[in-house]
Amino acid sequence: QVQLVESGGGLVQAGGSLRLSCVASGRTFGNYAMGWFRQAPGKAREFVAAISWTGGVKIYADAVKDRFTISRDNAQNTVFLQMNDLKREDTGVYYCAGRWTATISRDLSGYGFWGQGTQVTVSS
């Protein structure tokens, strides 16, 4: 089993930045593709970004492209999401998730293990 713990969320003004971290424990971390998802109140959970196990391939949702950056440090068993130029519509609970495979995906159903989430609130 792999356990994921997110941190770094909080309250920020529009235009500000936050850096989310997701630390994994349990089985070897480096072989898994990882992703970030978010869920706003009353809405379905949606894809934000994903990264291959090598870190060489990254994909983003159109809504966050050019503002968010996903990265990973396999030596530290950690995945990051750097969020810049935050907007009110970025508000939600952000979840880190992993796939039991090295390849990335936008599909929520393809992720087999999840963290408990961290709240991000962007005020105007």
Model confidence pLDDT, tens digit, residues 57-112 = 999 999 999 999 999 999 999 999 999 999 999 999 999 999 999 889 999 999 99
Contact yes or no for 11/118 (Cβ under 8 A): no
Instruction: Quick: pLDDT tens for 39-52.
Output: 999 999 999 999 99
Q: Which residues contact 56 (CB under 8 A, 6 or more apart)?
A: none
CA angle 47, 52, 53 (to 5 degrees): 130
Mean pLDDT of the chain: 95
State CA 10 to chain mean position distance.
Answer: 15
The DSSP call for residue 28 is: -
Q: How confident is the model at residue 29 (pLDDT cuts 50, 70, 90)?
A: low
Count CB atoms within 10 A of the CB of residue 18: 21
